[in-house]
Amino acid sequence: MRKNGHDRNGRQRWQCDTCKATTTATIESRSRASTLRAFLDWLLEAAPQRRLGCDARTFRRRSAWCWDLEPRIHPDGVVHHVVMADGTYVNGWCLLTAVDGNDGEVLAWQWCSRESTAAYKALFEQIAPPDVLVCDGMKG
């Protein structure tokens, strides 16, 4: 998307580079974007809810939809020298993670009911095969 002038109401118009369709940002989408920014500031920077400019309960109600967003990691195709893989249990589910052994960057994750060979295969299909794999040696 790139900027493409303004509409008759003065709102920014956007045009898709591939299909040439145009659109404008609605008030609702701008409001949701600002809510998401506030939510991420609170979540990642540990800013107290009382400093967000509204009542804490109001903030929690407005930002409840943010918990349903599923973050995505786009594969970069780079072969990492060392990858560490392990599973941890969260609220009855197992979260498998593949982490770069050099800088600690999360490369991929996979939710599963328990650690298994199939779950680890699904995890490693998301990344390029590493030179060295470090794991705890448990089942799975």
The DSSP annotation for 96-129 comes to: EEEEETTT--EEEEEEESS--HHHHHHHHTTSPP
Over range 51-75, report the average pLDDT.
85
Residues contacting 39, CB < 8 A, separation 6+: 63, 66
pLDDT tens-digit series, residues 24-33: 876 666 788 8
- The CA-to-CA distance between both ends of the chain, in Å, stands at 43
Contacts of 22 (CB under 8 A, 6+ apart): 4, 13, 14, 15, 16
What is the per-residue pLDDT across 95-122, written as a single tens digit (0 to 9) for each? 999 999 899 899 999 999 999 999 999 9
Domain limits, the chain: 2-68, 82-134
CB 99 within 8 A of CB 49: no
Q: What average pLDDT score do residues 82-87 get? A: 94
Domain covering 82-134: architecture: 2-Layer Sandwich (3.30)
Cα dihedral sign, 40-46-51-57: positive
- Distance in angstroms (rounded) separating the CA atoms of residues 22 and 138: 53
